[in-house]
Amino acid sequence: MEVKYQIRHGSEDSIDEDFYLVVDEIPTKQEFIELKKTSPLDLNLITIDNGVVTGCLKGLTDEINNSIFSTFDLHSQEIDNPINSLVSRDVFPKLSMVIRELLAFCSRTKYRADIKSVMKPANIYDRLTTLALIKLTEIDDFEKNTTEEVYKFFAQQIGMILPLLNSEKELFTKKSISAKYPLLEDYLYRKTTDATQLQEMLVIFVDEAATYLCDTIETVNGKDVTLTNGKVFDVKYETYIG
């Protein structure tokens, strides 16, 4: 495996510097472990072929592709933009991932038992129902993460998934999310720990997600979901079957 170059992505006013490392091939697990020992960077490895993101170690290739294309020019880069164009988004895997991740951030709170009961079976309706129970205004401590970081993550993910659920333009920066969803702005910039407005947006997201699932799912068999387009998605492993 060879690292070709790196790409900075994300908001132009972010205090964090987020990079993708473009490699010639996605490494094996052992290769990745060895590479981590020698690099101080957060190793977010991807492959790009013919102007499109084709592989990644974490995340979704379509989201990474469109994020790079949309935010590349916001940063100083060592190369020209290697992504030729936006690609169509596959919304269901993103939605499944967001529901899981939001639950995971609350898994060390008073909702621990409820969340634990739906994570392993991985029924997406049960997961969304559990997410609907969560009242951020009633959580004082997230243990492993600061309140500001948890709220920022919630705001960012809600701001990115809502446009997809409504077939609208994707949002990849704090400025663009804040412009469309003003209630999320203070959380994106870590300016408040009052969860009142974030809770309002969480309720909106849960409602929108429920509508999307009703319109998109044909049948549910435990962790396996058959979509109206005929594809079968494994919610536990977040991958299509067959």
Each residue's pLDDT tens digit, 20-58:
999 999 988 788 888 777 776 677 899 999 999 999 988
Given a contact cutoff of 8 angstroms between Cβ atoms, the answer to whether 205 and 158 are in contact is yes
pLDDT at 13: 79
pLDDT at 18: 83
pLDDT at 128: 98
Where is 6: in which H helix or E strand?
Answer: strand 3-9
pLDDT at 40: 63
The segments of the chain whose pLDDT lies below 50 read none
Q: How far apart are CA 36 and CA 82, in angstroms?
A: 25
pTM over 0.75: yes
Given a contact cutoff of 8 angstroms between Cβ atoms, the answer to whether 81 and 12 are in contact is no
pLDDT at 228: 97
% of the chain beyond a pLDDT of 90: 83
Domain range annotation of the chain = 3-74, 91-241
**Distances in whole angstroms, Cα of residue 149 to Cα of each of 3, 103, 107, 153, 241:** 30, 15, 15, 6, 34
Q: How far apart are CA 53 and CA 62, in angstroms?
A: 7
8 forms bridges with which residues in the sheet?
19
